[in-house]
Structure 1
Amino acid sequence: MYPKINLHIQFYTNFAAMDTKPSSTPTKGGWITFPFLIATMAGLTLAAAGWSTNIIMYLINEFNIKSIDAAQIANIVNGCTTLLPILGAVLADSFFGSFTIILVSSLISLAGILLLTLTATLDPLKPAPCKNGSDLCLGPSKSQLAILYMSVALSSIGPAGTRFTLATMGADQFDNPKDQGFFFNWHFFTLYAGILVSVVGIIYVEDNMSWGLGYGLCVATNLIGLVIFAVGRIKYRLLKPQASPFTRMTCVVVAAFRKRKLFLSLKSADYCQEPYAEGTKLVGTTPTNSLKFLNHAALITSQGDTTTDNISIKKPWDLCTIQQVEDLKTLIKISPLWSTGVMMSTPLAIQMSLIVLQALAMDRHLGPTPTPTTFQISAGTMIVFAMLSTSIFIVLIDRFLLPTYQKLTNTSLTPLQRIGVGHVLNASGMAISALVESKRLAMARSHDLKGNSVVPMSVFWMVPQLVVIGAGEAFHLPGHVSLYYQEFPKSMKSTAAAMVALFIGVAFYLGTAVVDLVRKTTGWLPDGINDGRMDNLYWVLTGIGLTNFGYYLVCSWMYEYQNVEKMELDDSSNAPC
């Protein structure tokens, strides 16, 4: 399926050919660090999900903020917590290292959640509660809003600096590619399990007992995660940050453009090699033939381009190393695959916002004969089924599916194959959603129900689609992180892991734009969903998913694993003459 790929290569060996030279002694790292990093992830996830997933209800109930304004604030929070990990990863890769970024961001988020807890417990920090039966509610003052926004902003920094930086730091602790893949799987399992526990446990405390107690639990879990992470400091293998990779990439473009009229050479001596390490001269090579225009950046035009000992480059904006050129080529080659992640996540982002509306118009009581006193589940908790499905399938894939597949075929699933399975499952989930919504609308018409009236159809009809979607995420999310981690330049490992957060964040805003477009151009999404055709929207999303899957097949067929090729070269060099 993939050109120049030997199918006998194991799935996790695609992580090979990475230079992960530790800055500390070789005895550090390994499995001794696993419980520290996983426990840290669990504590910080519980804290972040505990306050962020229920922020709309807090703003409405405690600060008397109108529902639309509360939703806008929540959208900003969701966008920031999704996109800010990119900034945290860049800072970790380029300046401070993973450990410092995780430690500092955890401290800041701890301060933010603590301040948020104070707003829930101290009366002067929030407006007076609305009187029962009265429409007159005093909104928050400017000073109360300032404190609230400050607490939310500080609390959002925690996920930004930890969510994917922790994944990269964990993988850096292992030399064995299979161990790195194992850590990625358990990292995502911990992430989803932590969110699940927060939605079921902490949010229940906030809604039914006390906001102060619920946020206090978030403070406690954040603190526990921070302490565990700091205690494990002496065991971690820490990699030194390098110069900003984005500056290096920009230098390649500028240098190639400046020397665009020069003829390319076939001699390795005419190209700038990677700077010598401790006086050891690297083997001379020439740039690859793909994207040849960029090869101009590494072309030496005069002896004055480098120092007399050839250790450093005098003008980095005029001359770059071959490695810099090849790193930029790698990013360009992988960008089409990354774009398929955006188009796959956009339908999911749209569906997550529509699930609540569907659930509100369905029977949410537990038991076959609902009564006014029968317990009914919250519409917002339906997402739990997708999270639970993802958590379970990650374990099944890691402990059962992958070993069984390997025994039956003598091969292992590659990252691209795992992502492909995720594409198929996500499109299938959209099709199931369309069928369920069609049934719900038919029942609404048969009972002559209008607007948002509750249809006598159990909300648990939505569970199968959420299970399928959750299974899809269990395939494609670890697959994406694995692919980017192995293929990105070694100076951008944290940034590579955060690329998943980037396309999810883009999908979040793109999904909002798509819904607005559909509302303006069709009658599918009126205020009363019983009067619309949400099933048509789901069918359109299914078509988008299938089309995107075809685009993905083309991109994956054309893509060549960079590190696998290096492995093959290394293997051939050891072969007998």
Structure 2
Amino acid sequence: MHPSSPLQLPFSLRIINQSINPLITLSVQEEGTEAEACVGYVDWKGKPAVRGKHGGMLAASFVLAVEIMENMAYLANASNLVTYLAGFMHFSLSRSATTVTNFMATAFLLALLGGFLSDAFFTAYHIYLISALLEFLGLVILAVQAKTASLKPPPGEEAAGGKTVILFAGLYLTALGVGGIKGSLAPHGGEQFDESTARGHKARSTFFNYFIFCLASGGLLAVTFVVWVEDNKGWQWGFGISTITILLSIPVFLAGSPLYRNKVPTGSPVTTIAKVLLAAISSRRGNFQSARNAVVDLEQSSPAKESKESEVRGPGEELKWLNRAAEGRPLHRALLCAAHEVEDVKVVLKLLPIFLSTIMLSCCLAQLSTFSVQQAATMDTRVGGLKVPPASLPVFPVIFIMALVPLYDHAIVPLARRATGSDTGITHLQRIGMGLALSVVAMAVAAAVEMKRKRVALRVGEGFKGPLPITFFWVAFQYLFLGSADLFTLAGLLEFFFSEAPARMRSLATSLSWASLAMGYYLSSALVSMVNRVTTTSSGGVGRKGWLSGGSLNRYHLDRFYWLMCVLSALNLANFVFWATRYRYRSGQKQ
């Protein structure tokens, strides 16, 4: 069943499972010719998508517009939320920081759920609509609480009881919506391009570049205009702007409905992965041909087959231990695996080392919303007669990204294409590697800047009141380097996971890009705790506090922590190079 109008929500749908998907695929093949129909794709009415009519950059442009609105609504609150929690909910600074970190990490981690549902049961089109409504409801709760005095604690009293229930209900309903959007919007845009042509590959690469541009554009509006409103007009207005923005994104998204082509869900990719792994572990060795005959029926009914060749030949030579899933004798018929299922799981396993190599960069990025803001808060933040809020510091990397994306896509990439012969100019892994290398430089710069800031603090003495006589533009350098690293790595990751993952697992694989950010935030919290534990000493009744503890940032050894991050980032870069040089693209890119 398919919705009859773009306003009809997928709650009215029966869950699309593997028994229904083959019928949809056959319908696509029957109603369109081989030259016209996009096999495995339908329009918003559930009819076969047609090449030339559905998809393309015009359809993807609606996704780009929505990304500006979506990221503005999310980042406007995430970037300044610690101020609201400390100033209006009266949380301690440490609890406020932990709450913000957990909120952001959970939102990004829930992108995996959004990606999973987009691949397994619903289209990415429907997941966006559901998620936008969930985020809208969460923001409504937060806006009402910020507006209503009785729902906030009295001055000097920390929020507790029902007030915290309302707060966390709003926060995590918002996080659920954000996660669903992150897991569905980028894959939905990527699906609009025909990957069978070089032109389609180039257009898709441009889309992912401008997806980052639009993400940065939304961030620019968030950390300037909305943060100013929150600080000067009240948080109810800040939450209200975010609420209206995410609500308006829904009709903007729906306006592109006649142009979209939507990938038909093909069942749970997690089930396929688990089945292949279990079959490979438990299967007894047997005759390949006899086992092959047993899975022919499965392959004949497989929806939206990705490669006809994979249905004829057996599993490949990489990760040979998984071949037992197709070649061995399974303990039960339910564990019968087709060759293309085994190959799909191999691809996913090969992506995991790349994914794990990017978590350290995300850990570095986490410092921009914690220690870097605290550094700037001790410094002179005046620009002429204007005093810049520390929460607006991300404006530096955002503006840099917005300037770099068009230059990269329209100047650097064409030159690189002529030099390398690759449709994307610079390969996905090269882009990711550039980002990781920049993160090493960024942490070295951050350490040097903190050493300079502490020298100024020591010179003026502890009794000095007011901001230190050093401009916050010094801190902007680490924002620029880390912002550049984020641009190269996130754009490269999104396109890498999308293009390399099996078609039936693309949304879930693309969500790994956001999950990396979540893991980085969690790692950052764990690393800070570990560093403090290791560097805290006590001997003869005289204790020495850890590097990152104390009542004043000037007593911290933040520079040492940044040097540690620089060393860990360098080791991580070496680990990435090890895996990247051994990776073989399935999408035909040159190394």
By the TM > 0.5 criterion, same fold? yes
Answering whether residue 586 of structure 2 is matched by residue 562 of structure 1, we say yes
Q: Distance in 2 between the 1:430 and 1:289 partners?
A: 40
Give the superposition deviation at 1:271.
Answer: 7.5
Given the alignment, which residue of 496, 499, 502 partners 2:515?
502
Which whole-Å deviations, capped at 9, do the CAs of 1:403-430 have from their partners, x for residues lacking one?
2333455552110111111111111111
Answering whether residue 419 of structure 2 is matched by residue 395 of structure 1, we say no
Name stretches of at least 5 consecutive residues in structure 2 with no aligned partner: 1-37, 43-47, 195-199, 536-545
Give the superposition deviation at 1:346.
Answer: 2.0
Answering whether residue 334 of structure 2 is matched by residue 316 of structure 1, we say yes
Answering whether residue 151 of structure 2 is matched by residue 125 of structure 1, we say yes
The corresponding residue for 2:548 is 525
CA RMSD of aligned residues (A): 2.7
Give the direction of change, closer, same or farther, for the CA distance of 1:228–1:207 in structure 2 (3 Å limit).
same
Q: Distance in 1 between the 2:445 and 2:97 partners?
A: 28
CA contact (8 A) 2:115 2:508 kept: yes
The corresponding residue for 1:460 is 473
Letter in 1 for 2:279: A
The corresponding residue for 1:152 is 171
Answering whether residue 455 of structure 2 is matched by residue 435 of structure 1, we say no
Q: Distance in 2 between the 1:425 and 1:139 partners?
A: 41
Q: Distance in 1 between the 2:275 and 2:493 partners?
A: 28
CA contact (8 A) 1:391 1:474 kept: no
Give the superposition deviation at 1:377.
Answer: 1.9
**SS of residue matched to 1:275:** helix
Give the direction of change, closer, same or farther, for the CA distance of 1:353–1:284 in structure 2 (3 Å limit).
same
Which whole-Å deviations, capped at 9, do the CAs of 1:55-109 have from their partners, x for residues lacking one?
2222333333333333332222112111111111111111112111110111121
Answering whether residue 325 of structure 2 is matched by residue 297 of structure 1, we say yes
Name stretches of at least 5 consecutive residues in structure 1 with no aligned partner: 1-18, 131-136, 306-313, 368-373, 569-577
The corresponding residue for 1:133 is none
Give the direction of change, closer, same or farther, for the CA distance of 1:375–1:556 in structure 2 (3 Å limit).
same
Give the superposition deviation at 1:178.
Answer: 1.3
Q: Distance in 1 between the 2:267 and 2:256 partners?
A: 27
CA contact (8 A) 1:451 1:529 kept: no
Letter in 2 for 1:164: G
The corresponding residue for 1:371 is none
Answering whether residue 416 of structure 2 is matched by residue 405 of structure 1, we say yes
Letter in 1 for 2:111: P
The corresponding residue for 2:354 is 337
Q: Distance in 1 between the 2:302 and 2:180 partners?
A: 33
The corresponding residue for 2:23 is none
Given the alignment, which residue of 257, 262, 267 partners 1:238?
262
Give the direction of change, closer, same or farther, for the CA distance of 1:112–1:165 in structure 2 (3 Å limit).
same
Percent of aligned positions that are identical: 28
**SS of residue matched to 1:21:** strand
Q: Distance in 2 between the 1:264 and 1:333 partners?
A: 27
Q: Distance in 1 between the 2:571 and 2:128 partners?
A: 39
Give the direction of change, closer, same or farther, for the CA distance of 1:284–1:451 in structure 2 (3 Å limit).
farther
**SS of residue matched to 1:25:** strand
- TM-score using structure 1 length: 0.84
Letter in 2 for 1:524: W
Give the direction of change, closer, same or farther, for the CA distance of 1:443–1:125 in structure 2 (3 Å limit).
closer
Letter in 1 for 2:403: I
**SS of residue matched to 1:402:** helix
Given the alignment, which residue of 29, 38, 54 partners 1:28?
54
* Residue pairs, 1:132-531, within 5 angstroms: 137-140=156-159, 142-175=161-194, 176-260=200-284, 262-263=285-286, 265=288, 272=295, 275-276=299-300, 284-299=312-327, 301=329, 315-317=333-335, 319-350=336-367, 352-367=369-384, 375-407=386-418, 410-411=421-422, 412-449=425-462, 454-522=467-535, 523-527=546-550, 528-531=552-555
**SS of residue matched to 1:456:** strand
Give the superposition deviation at 1:157.
Answer: 2.2
CA contact (8 A) 2:77 2:239 kept: yes
Give the superposition deviation at 1:231.
Answer: 2.7
- Between stretches 139-148 and 378-387, larger displacement belongs to 139-148
Bigger relative CO (Cα 8 Å, ≥ 6 apart): 1
Q: Distance in 2 between the 1:63 and 1:213 partners?
A: 17
Letter in 2 for 1:398: D
Q: Distance in 2 between the 1:25 and 1:457 partners?
A: 59
Give the direction of change, closer, same or farther, for the CA distance of 1:430–1:297 in structure 2 (3 Å limit).
same
The corresponding residue for 1:65 is 91
Give the superposition deviation at 1:322.
Answer: 0.5
Letter in 2 for 1:296: R
Q: Distance in 1 between the 2:572 and 2:240 partners?
A: 44
CA contact (8 A) 1:127 1:140 kept: yes
CA contact (8 A) 1:264 1:295 kept: no
The corresponding residue for 1:13 is none
Q: Distance in 1 between the 2:294 and 2:439 partners?
A: 46
Give the direction of change, closer, same or farther, for the CA distance of 1:150–1:446 in structure 2 (3 Å limit).
closer
CA contact (8 A) 1:268 1:286 kept: no
Letter in 2 for 1:293: W
Q: Distance in 2 between the 1:464 and 1:66 partners?
A: 29
Letter in 2 for 1:288: G
Give the superposition deviation at 1:268.
Answer: 9.5
Give the direction of change, closer, same or farther, for the CA distance of 1:444–1:341 in structure 2 (3 Å limit).
same
Give the direction of change, closer, same or farther, for the CA distance of 1:300–1:518 in structure 2 (3 Å limit).
closer
**SS of residue matched to 2:387:** coil
- Between stretches 538-547 and 500-509, larger displacement belongs to 538-547
Which whole-Å deviations, capped at 9, do the CAs of 1:379-438 have from their partners, x for residues lacking one?
222222123223322232112211233345555211011111111111111111122122
The corresponding residue for 1:56 is 82
CA contact (8 A) 1:48 1:158 kept: no
CA contact (8 A) 1:271 1:299 kept: no
